[in-house]
């Protein structure tokens, strides 16, 4: 397996995609090659399949590492120039340029090794509130940096569009001009948790969703429809009800169930948010505080 990564700190921690290092969970060795061709062994610090992020640690790291500088959480605008850095198709040290094509793009990919042939079960898909870019990224760019004009990290490259769908960069499809990166705000949150505890907590709302279309004034709009509210969940405690249609979260448009799931995945446990809800033809603002997702609450 080949991929890319970013140096996170001077201690030799590197952030990459979970699917890049997935085989290391079964005992495969990890090798890190720096831009000057020095190669080191490394080991896993923590992985998070739900966001497709991982942190690895260089064994006996050198003292001259320069960590990447993360950009601010809301520093991107559509049309802004960006550069993707990585190891596409094994071509180390490759950079490509493009623009931010879209923000808050809900993208779904399958977790690495998600299907269990012995239990016939499927893991929850990876849903990312992604940065969409025209910078060419290909298999091997996985886990690499998407940076702005100043060189600050704005995302971790993770997926590309294929005809009719999106797929993780662990697949073999080539670039068709639409790539996706995990936004830096999510990277900072998950990487910090993986470094501190080896695992990540995820925000939990407590609703079953469906795509919906509601009337707002004389117009109609797409929304995330609430099909069921889980008792004693953050949604129930905030007063959400079956039949509600969620059209925005903190002012960001929600145009379907996948859009809301992606927005929730980007948030942290304990974080507060305001949902814009259409109920009975009237608009309401509902404040909610996200809890931690557990195996028991789904």
Catalytic one of 142, 167, 257, 259? 142
Longest CA–CA span in the chain (Å) reads 65
DSSP per residue, 175-244: --S-EEEEEHHHHHHHHHHHHHHSS---EE--EEEEEEEEEETTEEEEEEEEEEE-TTSHHHHHT--TT-
> Is 148 an annotated catalytic residue?
no
Tokens in use for 188? 């900072």
Residue 119 burial (C-beta neighbours within 10 Å; 0-12, 13-18, 19+): exposed
> Is 142 an annotated catalytic residue?
yes
As beta bridge partners, residue 128 has 107
β-pairing, 6-7 vs 13-16, is: antiparallel
Catalytic one of 4, 19, 185, 265? 19
Catalytic one of 48, 52, 148, 244? 52
> Is 284 an annotated catalytic residue?
no
Active site residues: 19, 52, 142
């Amino acid at each position: 397996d080949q991929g890319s990564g970013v140096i996170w700190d001077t201690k030799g921690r590197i952030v990459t995609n979970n699917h890049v290092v997935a085989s290391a969970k079964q005992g495969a060795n990890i090798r890190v090659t720096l831009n000057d061709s020095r190669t080191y062994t490394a080991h896993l610090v923590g992985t998070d399949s739900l966001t497709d992020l991982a942190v690895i640690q260089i064994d006996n790291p050198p003292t001259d590492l320069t960590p990447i500088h993360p950009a601010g959480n809301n520093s991107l605008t559509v049309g802004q120039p960006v550069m993707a850095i990585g190891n596409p198709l094994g071509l180390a040290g490759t950079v490509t340029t493009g623009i931010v094509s879209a923000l808050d793009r809900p993208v779904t990919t399958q977790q690495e090794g998600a299907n269990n042939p012995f239990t016939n079960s499927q893991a929850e898909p990876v849903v990312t509130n992604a940065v969409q870019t025209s910078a060419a990224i290909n298999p091997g760019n996985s886990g690499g940096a998407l940076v702005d004009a100043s060189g600050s990290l704005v995302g971790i490259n993770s997926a590309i569009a294929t005809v009719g769908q999106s797929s993780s960069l662990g697949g073999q499809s080539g670039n068709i001009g639409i790539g996706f990166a995990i936004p830096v705000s999510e990277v900072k949150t998950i990487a910090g948790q993986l470094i501190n505890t080896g695992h990540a907590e995820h925000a939990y709302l407590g609703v079953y969703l469906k795509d919906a279309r509601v009337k707002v004034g004389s117009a109609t709009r797409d929304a995330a429809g609430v099909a069921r509210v889980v008792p004693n969940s953050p949604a129930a405690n905030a007063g959400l009800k079956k039949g509600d249609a969620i059209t925005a979260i903190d002012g960001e448009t929600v145009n379907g169930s996948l859009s809301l799931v992606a927005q929730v995945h980007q948030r942290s446990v304990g974080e507060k948010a305001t949902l814009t809800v259409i109920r009975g033809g009237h608009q309401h603002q509902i404040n909610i505080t996200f809890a931690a997702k557990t195996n028991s609450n789904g």
